[in-house]
C-alpha cells in the first residue's frame, strides 16, 4: 500500500487512558495499531461486506452503496448499475469481480483509468429456475474459472460463458478456496468438495458440533483448520476431524465466529466475530491479542477479513472499516482495563522480557511473559527517563536520580532534590562519564568498581534543562525547559562550568522558544518551530538542515530512540 512507510526496526508505542484511584498490578498486552475509517471518511454506506486488493495495490471494498476504492490517500465510490449493494469482490489482474443482488460481473479500467462495468449475469442464457432470488455473497477463482456463489445457486464463468448450478437439496452457505480445491459448507447441511462442478460429500456437520464451517485456514500437506460459528476450531487432515483447543474456547464459542484467515510468516490465526471484534491466536492456541470497540476497533461486528500484501488486516465491519496494522513493526502496549492508566510516558527500556516504563505518574515494569504491569516502589510522581546501562544499573529520573533493583527505586547517596531530567553516556575532555541534567545543573558519574558512581554535582547554572546532547568535541547542547538553547563547556576536571553561551548570541542563531535537542546520524541537531538546525563548527554559526525535507512533510519537532528487545 502506498500509505505504508518502510521501517526496519521494531519499536514500542505506549497508549493509556485516564484513571482514578490506586494502582495495583494489572494485565496488559501488545496490540497492533488500528486505523479506523468511518462512513464520513469514505463517503458511502455504513456496512462493508468484502475486501480485495488490485494488482496496483489499491484496496477495493464492497459497500452498501457500491464499490469503494482506496489508494492509500483517497477514497472513491464507484456505483453499481441500479445502485446495488456490492456483497462480494475479487481482484484478478486488472479486473475487480463483484457480486450483488441478481447481478454479477466485473469492473476494469479504460484507457483513462476509469472503472467500467461489464455484466456477466447477462450471459446466463436460461435460468434453471426463476422461483428464487439471490445475492452473490462470495467469489472465488480456481483453474482460470470464476465462481459466483449465492445462498441458493452458483455460477461459473470460464472467460466466455456462464453456467448456472442450482440444487434445492444442496444450497451452499460458503465456498472456501483452499490451495487448488474448493470446499463447500451447505446451508444447515454437511461439508462437501466441489470437483468438476459437482458436489462430493466430505464429512457430516455432526463432526463439527452440528455447526457451520465459516472459514478454513490452510496448513501444510493438505491439512487445514476449520473455523465454526459456535463451536470453536477443528483440525482436518483430509480424513478425520479433531477438536483444536485454544485458551479462549469458552469465549470464542460465545461470540459467533463469522470469518477467519491467517497472517503470513508466523501463521497467526485471525478470527472475526459478530459480537466481539477480532482475535489473534497462535499456532499453539494462545490468544495473542483481541481487538474490539473497547480498545480501538470501530465496530464489533466483523463481516469480512482480508490480509493485504503488507500483511495488514482489513476488517470490513457492520459500521465502518478498520485497518489493523499487523504488517507494521510498531505495536501498542495497552492495559486490558480502561480503568487503568500509567499516565504520559517519557521513557522505556527493555531488559530481557521485562520493560521499564517512566511516566509522569510513576515508574512501572511490564513482564512480557505474564502480561503484568506493576508499579516500582519509590518512583511515584514525574519520571523523565529510565535506562539500563552496560554496568547492569537501572537509573530512573525522579525528583532526583534513583537506582532500581527489582521493583524498588532507592535514592543515590549525595544527590539533591533538584530532579533528574536526562542522562547520557558521553566523552568530555577525553573522559568517559555518565552525565545527568537537572533543574539547576548537572551531575557527573564516574566508573568505580565497574559501577557508575556519583562524582560531583554542578549546581551553579540555575537553568532548568529539558534534555541535552554532547557532540564530538565534548560540548554540551542543552535545551531550556521553556526558552531556547545553551552551549555549555565544562572545565577539564568536569566539576564546574567553564563557559555557557545562549544560542541566540551565536552568529546565525535565532531567538528562544521551546527547543528540542537530538542526535540524528551521530550529529547533534536542534528543532524549533518545525525547523531543524545544527551547529556549523567550521563557520561558528547555526545553520538550517534540509536533508530530511523530502521525507517529512512538516519537518521535525523532536525525535526518540527506537527500541528493540534484547
Q: Are 157 and 118 in contact (CB under 8 A)?
A: no
Ranges 61-75, 496-510, 546-560, most confident: 61-75
The model's pLDDT over 300-324, given as tens digits with 9 standing for 90+, comes to: 999 999 999 999 999 999 999 999 9
The model's pLDDT over 461-480, given as tens digits with 9 standing for 90+, comes to: 888 998 999 999 999 999 98
Residue-level pLDDT at 134: 87
Q: Provide the pairing of β-strand 431-437 with 531-536.
A: unpaired
Beta strands in 81-220, from DSSP E residues, in sequence order: 88-92, 95-100, 103-109, 115-119, 138-142, 145-149, 153-157, 162-166, 172-178, 181-186, 191-195, 198-203, 213-218
Check pLDDT > 80 for residue 507: no
Lowest mean pLDDT among 124-133, 233-242, 381-390: 124-133
Q: What percent of the chain has pLDDT over 70?
A: 87
Residue-level pLDDT at 400: 87
Cell numbers linked to 285: 492456541
Spatial distance between the Cα atoms of 158 and 9, rounded to a whole number of angstroms: 46
**What is the band of 514 on the pLDDT scale with cuts at 50, 70, 90?**
confident
Q: Are 38 and 297 in contact (CB under 8 A)?
A: no
Contacts of 366 (CB under 8 A, 6+ apart): 28, 333, 354, 355, 357, 372, 373
Q: Over the chain, what is the mean pLDDT? A: 88
Lowest mean pLDDT among 129-133, 155-159, 406-410, 526-530: 129-133
Residue-level pLDDT at 334: 73
| DSSP β-bridge partners for residue 203 | 191
The residue extents of the domains of the chain are 1-33+329-405, 34-166, 421-566
Mapping DSSP to helix (H, G, I), strand (E, B) and coil, where does residue 195 land?
strand
Residue-level pLDDT at 4: 35
Decide yes or no: CATH 3.40.50.300 for domain 34-166: no
Amino acid at each position: 500500500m502506498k500509505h505504508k512507510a518502510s521501517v526496519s526496526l521494531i519499536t514500542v508505542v505506549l497508549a493509556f487512558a485516564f484513571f482514578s484511584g490506586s494502582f495495583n498490578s494489572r494485565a496488559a498486552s501488545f496490540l497492533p495499531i488500528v486505523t479506523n475509517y468511518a462512513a464520513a471518511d469514505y463517503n458511502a454506506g455504513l456496512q462493508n461486506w468484502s475486501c480485495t486488493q488490485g494488482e496496483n495495490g489499491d484496496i477495493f471494498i464492497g459497500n452498501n452503496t457500491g464499490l469503494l476504492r482506496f489508494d492509500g490517500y483517497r477514497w472513491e465510490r464507484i456505483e453499481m448499475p441500479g445502485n446495488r449493494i456490492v456483497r462480494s469482490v475479487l481482484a484478478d489482474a486488472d479486473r475487480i469481480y463483484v457480486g450483488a443482488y441478481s447481478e454479477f460481473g466485473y469492473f476494469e479500467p479504460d484507457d483513462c483509468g476509469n472503472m467500467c462495468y461489464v455484466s456477466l449475469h447477462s450471459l446466463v442464457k436460461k435460468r434453471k429456475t426463476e422461483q428464487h432470488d439471490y445475492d452473490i455473497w462470495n467469489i472465488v477463482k480456481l483453474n482460470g474459472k470464476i465462481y459466483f456463489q449465492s445462498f441458493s445457486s452458483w455460477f461459473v464463468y470460464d472467460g466466455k460463458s456462464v453456467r448456472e448450478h442450482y440444487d434445492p437439496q444442496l444450497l451452499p452457505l460458503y465456498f472456501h478456496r483452499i490451495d487448488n480445491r474448493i470446499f463447500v459448507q451447505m446451508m444447515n447441511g454437511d461439508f462437501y468438495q466441489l470437483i468438476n462442478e459437482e458436489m462430493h460429500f466430505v464429512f457430516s456437520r455432526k463432526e463439527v458440533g452440528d455447526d457451520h464451517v465459516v472459514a478454513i485456514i490452510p496448513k501444510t500437506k493438505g491439512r487445514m483448520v476449520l473455523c465454526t460459528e459456535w463451536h470453536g476450531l477443528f483440525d482436518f487432515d483430509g480424513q478425520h476431524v479433531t477438536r483444536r483447543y485454544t485458551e479462549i474456547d469458552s469465549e470464542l464459542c460465545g461470540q459467533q465466529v463469522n470469518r477467519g484467515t491467517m497472517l503470513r510468516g508466523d501463521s497467526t490465526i485471525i478470527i472475526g466475530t459478530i459480537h466481539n471484534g477480532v482475535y489473534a491466536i497462535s499456532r499453539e492456541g494462545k490468544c495473542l491479542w483481541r481487538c474490539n470497540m473497547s480498545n480501538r476497533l470501530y465496530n464489533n461486528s466483523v463481516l469480512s477479513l482480508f490480509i493485504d500484501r503488507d500483511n495488514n488486516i482489513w476488517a470490513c465491519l457492520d459500521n465502518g472499516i478498520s485497518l489493523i496494522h499487523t504488517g507494521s513493526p510498531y505495536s501498542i502496549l495497552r492495559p486490558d482495563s480502561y480503568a487503568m492508566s500509567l499516565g504520559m510516558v517519557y521513557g522505556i527500556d527493555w531488559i530481557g522480557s521485562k520493560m521499564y516504563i517512566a511516566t509522569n505518574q510513576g515508574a512501572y515494569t511490564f513482564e512480557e511473559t505474564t502480561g503484568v504491569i506493576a508499579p516500582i516502589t519509590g518512583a511515584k510522581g514525574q519520571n523523565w527517563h529510565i535506562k539500563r546501562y552496560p554496568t547492569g544499573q537501572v537509573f530512573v529520573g525522579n525528583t532526583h536520580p534513583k537506582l532500581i533493583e527489582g521493583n524498588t527505586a532507592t535514592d543515590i547517596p549525595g544527590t539533591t532534590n533538584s530532579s533528574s531530567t536526562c542522562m547520557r553516556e558521553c566523552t568530555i575532555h577525553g573522559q568517559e562519564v555518565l552525565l545527568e541534567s537537572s533543574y539547576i545543573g548537572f551531575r557527573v558519574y564516574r566508573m568505580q568498581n565497574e559501577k557508575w558512581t556519583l562524582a560531583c554535582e554542578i549546581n551553579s547554572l540555575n537553568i532548568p534543562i529539558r534534555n541535552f546532547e554532547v557532540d564530538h568535541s565534548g560540548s554540551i547542547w542543552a535545551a531550556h525547559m521553556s526558552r531556547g538553547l545553551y552551549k555549555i563547556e565544562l572545565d577539564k576536571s568536569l566539576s564546574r562550568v567553564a563557559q555557557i553561551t545562549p544560542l541566540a548570541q551565536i552568529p546565525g542563531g535565532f531567538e528562544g522558544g521551546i527547543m528540542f535537542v537530538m542526535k540524528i546520524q551521530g550529529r547533534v541537531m536542534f528543532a524549533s518551530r518545525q525547523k531543524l538546525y545544527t551547529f556549523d563548527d567550521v563557520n561558528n554559526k547555526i545553520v538550517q538542515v534540509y536533508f530530511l525535507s523530502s521525507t517529512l512533510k512538516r519537518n521535525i519537532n523532536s525525535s526518540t530512540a527506537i527500541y528493540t528487545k534484547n
